[in-house]
A and B are shown apart, each in its own frame.
Chain A
Amino acid sequence: MKQLFIVFSVLLALLSAYNMSAQSLVDVSVGSSTQDRVSANLAYRYQLNDRFRIGLEAQYGAPRYRFVDAKPIREGFSTTFSVPLTYRLYEKDQIRLDFYARTGLRVQGKIDPDQNDERDSILSANAVLFEPGLLVTIPATEKVHFQGGITFPMGFQVSPSSLFEFAHVPLIYAGLNVKTSERRHVFLKAATGAAFGGNGDTYKFSWSLQAGIRFAFGRRTAAPLVEPTF
């Protein structure tokens, strides 16, 4: 966690020092879900042009219900690094449609799995994550935007063994974004949906809730689109 914080702080400092004419966004949020009792998320978004936005994201969680080799762990750690991107497909009047995709790496596990009160072993699993989706943004007022959409997150454990861990078909997403100042938004995100995977040993359903603040840098005001995090 400490190393993660240092890496991201350095990255953000470098990016902030760079003279960017396009908009950059930094999101800080906390949440809870089927997977984690509590999680913290730090995200950076860079608006390349009017349609395309790409980012970097890190999430750290305290597991509530996660898996190693399709066997549950209910405590330990979970760290995810991912690269999300969005591409605007349609915008007319009050409705906007974006294509969304995320790819990432996840490490999760349990310290002292044999519970001998000595931190001499770690049971952990690494996975590759992928999540395509479609997101809709609707401005209710000048300052309040609603979001809805569907995504198809999936995870593939690559070590200690290879297995198809989970997929949602689909995950339903809802978001609320409120502009509190010219360069600051507060947001709420929620997602839920049925799932399958691990030959029936892993998730069959999941939910997540997240709340945070978005800070905008650069010439333009903050874009309302806040992508799902899972």
Chain B
Amino acid sequence: MKKILIASCLLVWATFLTAQESKPAKIGWFITPEVGVMFLENHVGKTIGASFGVKLWKDRLKVGIISYGRPGPINSYTVDTKLAENQTYLGKSSVKLRADWGVVGAFIAPTFKFKKFELDLPIGYGVGTGGFYLHGDDRKTPDGARVSVWEDKLFKGEDAAAGGWTEFGARVFFPSKIKGMSFGGGVHYTLISGWKTFADPSGEFYNQRLRVNLFVNFGSH
């Protein structure tokens, strides 16, 4: 991790040096809504999100915020989870849970312009939160209490958690006929740390995973 951080800093510094101009730097903006997929164990999860921020040094460095989610309602994959010993729920000793996940963080992306496309290398750092939840008829609790009350009870308060999120990627932007609008796609590698839940005590559900996305990019020009 230390070597990766040093390499990232050197890359940003190199971008800074090549972009130095005698004129004052113009600050641009960008908004990039995206949809994507995450290659998880045994299934592919659908994601939706966006990034936005500013462009510096003649648009050679993007700095911004990224947020995306892998929402449970559009991902039908379930995790069969055995309840604690002597515990049952609606007469069952194990339940099928859906997974729900979201990320928010900051990122920097050195940007390289070529004749017919643009390439950026986003490096993101932030927090990932999510967990596993009762779905369908299991959300009709036996005593009418809120579902979260039962999830806390069944999963010992570990139905959801937060952890550190780091991501490295590469994105390609293709210009459109409209100035300031481009389309593209990217590949990202996600690392999660310190995330532990009852249904996934190893915390590996989202760790060391590949994410691919497609996006529309709007920005100053």
* Contact assessment for B48 and A200 in the assembled complex, using a CB-CB cutoff below 8 Å: no
Bound Cα distance from A193 to B70, whole angstroms: 10
Quick check: is A224 within 8 A (CB to CB) of the other chain?
Answer: no
**Chain A binding surface, main DSSP class:** strand
Any A CB within 8 A of the CB of B202: no
Tell whether A169 pairs with B69 under 8 Å between CB atoms, given A148-B216, A194-B102, A201-B147.
yes
Whether a CB of chain B sits under 8 angstroms from the CB of A48 is: no
A201-B69 contact given A150-B33, A150-B50, CB 8 Å threshold: no
Given the complex, which residues of B lie within 8 Å of A92, measured CB to CB?
Answer: 179-180, 220-221
Say yes or no: A200 contacts B160, CB within 8 Å. yes
Tell me if A70 counts as interface (CB < 8 A to partner B).
yes
Pick from A93-101, A117-125, A176-184 the stretch touching chain B.
Answer: A93-101
Report which of A71, A136, A140 forms a contact with B218, defined as CB distance below 8 A: A136
B200 in contact (CB, < 8 A): no
Stretch of B71-79, B85-93, B111-119 on the interface side: B71-79
Within 8 A of A (CB), among B118-159: 129, 131, 133, 146-148, 151, 159
Say yes or no: is A204 at the interface (Cβ < 8 Å to chain B).
yes
Q: Is B165 an interface residue (CB 8 A)?
A: no
Chain A residues within an 8 Å CB radius of B74:
205
Q: Are B31 and A192 in contact (CB under 8 A)?
A: no
Asked if A90 contacts B148 (CB within 8 A), the reply is no
A152 — nearest CB in chain B belongs to which residue? B67
Complex Cα gap A113–B137 (Å): 20
Contact of A204 with B71 in the complex, beta carbons under 8 Å: yes
User: CB within 8 Å of A: which residues of B?
Assistant: 29, 31, 33, 48-50, 52, 67-74, 100, 102, 104, 129, 131, 133, 146-148, 151, 159-160, 178-181, 216, 218, 220-221
Could you list 10 A-B pairs, sorted by A, with CB under 8 Å?
A93-B180, A94-B180, A95-B180, A97-B218, A97-B220, A169-B102, A172-B50, A193-B49, A200-B131, A200-B147
Residues of A participating in the B interface, judged by any CB pair closer than 8 Å: 69-71, 89-90, 92-95, 97, 134, 136, 138, 140, 148-150, 169-170, 172, 192-196, 198-201, 204-205
